Structure 1
Amino acid sequence: MVRRIVTGLDEAGTACVVSDGESPVSKEYAHTPGFAAALVWRTGQTPEPVNEAVATDVTSYVPGPGETIALTVTFPPDSVFGDPSWDPMKAVPENLANTPGLAELFEPDAPGMHTTPTVDYVVVLDGTLVLELDNGRTVQLNAGDIVVQNATRHAWRNPGDKPVTIFVSLMGARV
């Protein structure tokens, strides 16, 4: 997964690193090889610096207005979803368990498409990814590209042959 460094204050009030390592909430999907997500950070409605790890009992991956969630998502190549051994019905319970609140927003009749009531900052960390929007409109993204996703319907596609990882900061919006 992705290395996460968290800064905070020590007992003397001096800036320090309070955590350096893999995100404590990392999910690898057994049914969809190569698909993984790691919750990087989460805040409440009024963000406050804290010296604690991410809560492992996140009830929703969709933050409410004023709240934030930061995570990484690794997308396997689209060929994984086209493989005859991949059964989307078997993937649903795992997705619901690993990303509650978000998984329920995916459209059953349009695989991958979803709309979140959030403003998202998305950074492509490696590889090439395609952002699909309404009416088949697409944007090819490369490592280092940043997307500001403003509560619009979208899907992420990986037409390549290697996994692609993005960093996403979701901010709950009033829509």
Structure 2
Amino acid sequence: MRSVRRIVTGHDGSGRPVIVEDADCRHIQTTAGAQVVNLWLHEGPPRNDTTYADPVGPDVPLPPPAGGGVLRVVEFGPRDQGETPYLHRTPSLDYAFVIAGEVVAVVGSEETVMRAGDVLIQRGTTHAWDNRSDTPCTILFVLLDTGPAT
């Protein structure tokens, strides 16, 4: 997966707007056969504090923190023959924007092919991402906690 540059704004000691970080994001994980770059997360409502501390730590779980959200880029490689897509469900509202490539969104017993520029609003259903092509697929995700399913 290519690196993802993360630029974060903030304020200096005098309250002037500044760029507090500008570097390739180092929060990279491999999970369920995909490469994940966790760009940002927040527990509870998002905040724009005047001090800056990187909110992303090691081993970010799949769902967002309670009452919070996570921003990540995921690259799904082509699925190996015999491999089963990772079916999962999280208590979150997920926005999935395909940046590059093609992937099959599996939702219950239904499927739809997504290509670059397509967006899926994932509302707490059991789902999987199945790359049946021969090239990687890159998706930008925003996951917002919704609490327990009702």
Q: TM-score, normalised by structure 2?
A: 0.84
* RMSD, aligned α-carbons: 2.2
AA of the residue aligned to 1:40: L
Which runs of structure 2 are paired with 1:54-65 in the superposition (5 Å)? 54-58=55-59, 60-65=61-66
Q: Could you say which structure has the higher helix fraction?
A: 1
- Provide the rounded CA distance (Å) in 2 between the counterparts of 1:71 and 1:59: 10
| Percent identity of equivalent pairs | 28
Counterpart secondary structure, 1:125: strand
Which runs of structure 2 are paired with 1:155-166 in the superposition (5 Å)? 155-166=128-139
Q: After TM superposition, give the deviation of residue 15 of structure 1 in Å.
A: 2.1
Q: Could you say which structure has the higher strand fraction?
A: 2
Deviates more, 1:9-18 or 1:161-170: 9-18
- Provide the rounded CA distance (Å) in 2 between the counterparts of 1:158 and 1:58: 24
Counterpart secondary structure, 2:144: strand
Gaps of 5+ in 1: 89-109
Q: How many correspondences in the alignment?
A: 144
CA 129–45 in structure 1, closer or farther in 2 if over 3 Å, else same: same
Of 119, 135, 141, 2:93 maps to 119
CA displacement, residues 92-137 of structure 1 (integer Å, 9 cap, x when unaligned) = xxxxxxxxxxxxxxxxxx64111111001111111111111111x1
- Provide the rounded CA distance (Å) in 2 between the counterparts of 1:111 and 1:74: 14
Matched-pair contact (CA < 8 Å) for 1:4–1:19: yes
